[in-house]
Structure 1
């Protein structure tokens, strides 16, 4: 009688069983391990289980035997359960990942822990209730953009907005900008702002830095042309600092703006502009702050939302533009 070919895979099956079915609160005895192997078509003596467990421990698997019950379990893994929950939360909250892709990623994360702990991850999955992008292509766009940056080449793509079409039954559809003509830019960085992914790139036609929402990019292609705009993206360029200046990633003219803020708003300023702020006192209740921002209606809306506790005091042209913006709401 020929030997069962699965016997050669005994150690691998044992490794898989321990990872999938055991954790600190769920253990398997030697007999239970033998029975699990038997269901895989593999016979095992008690002594061979002991030596196989020792081999897995020498390999680096943190298998513990609890004295008394003789139960074995995997005590630690590459990712601990709180870390996996953090990853699941990040995926759930990410608008740029579609609902379908979110569920696929969470399913893969569940395989990084035991079946029992994977159940606790599944209990906190509420992806269908979150606001998600409609563009399934974004997941692959991000990978293609990283590749283009690494390969130091330009890209082309089509750029669109979502619009309502009432010609038949109302439906949401893509409307391509520039009548569908392709954009050609040099990609330099990716940033995540206000729950969306943005590409920061050098626009050849405009000769300046511009940004594009990755979930609104379509038919993205790498070219053989080398990237341009290197002088604007030297070693001093900080993508995170750039994102702090640009409110809602809307373009405008960059200016240094002086703000007068109530003292209790220092936390709001830290959240928005980072820890390198240099506030200086205005009076006992207020401080001044000079910040570099891209002046846009979105910046004015942010200031307006702080209900007068943060005011623009300089430069005069920004103050005037802010007043005009306010009058648009009341005229």
Structure 2
């Protein structure tokens, strides 16, 4: 009997690592994508120490570098691991200072959306050919409410246009728009066995917010103090909704939805604009796919 396979981007830390642990416990054959080989090896080792029979391995993946995305795909192809049952697009960065990816994209949009867009589209033909139930899960955030899709200045290059949290919000909005558009396209192709959903994992005590603190002692203190006032989730708690979407029979046939605390909720109004979603798809395709195809 074939293994149930899951691929998790950013599976070496935070909610990605917790998701990898749980899926291994459930008997999944898990591959984690990580840009740092040492951290990936440490994560694999940590899981195997707790679960000696865990089926887990890592592959190098830097979502801020399209050549790395292409190399990751080629590695998976050589391993004959392209027909995943679960694709968990989990990795992300938050509130970075203004910088760019290797391909010149604004770093948060490039990493959080465009890297995942490229990876998903590389895997998609194989997921379709597998002719089996597949769950694609895109981790977004309530932070999508902070940003808007500005196609005239997508990378916030105009003077004074860049704000770390607004750019983060745009990238998380892109995750949702991508989810809804992909769900519509799959439905139009009658690919009903493939579902795609998105989620807000919660406010979590992970290293994702490292750029917010900037190493400043008082910011770390304020975040610690806030954890006593607001409900900050642990990484294990933060992973619950994406694990629910990855494994629960309750959502086996649910697609094109946004979840919070394992319940379907509404994202904000403009995320349901089909024209914006279609344009984002077309712009994303134009930005990444020619480069990806040239690298394969």
- Superposition TM-score, scaled by structure 2 size: 0.27
More strand by share: 1
Point out the structure with max Rg over C-alpha: 1
Q: Structure 1 length as normaliser, TM-score?
A: 0.25
More helix by percentage: 2
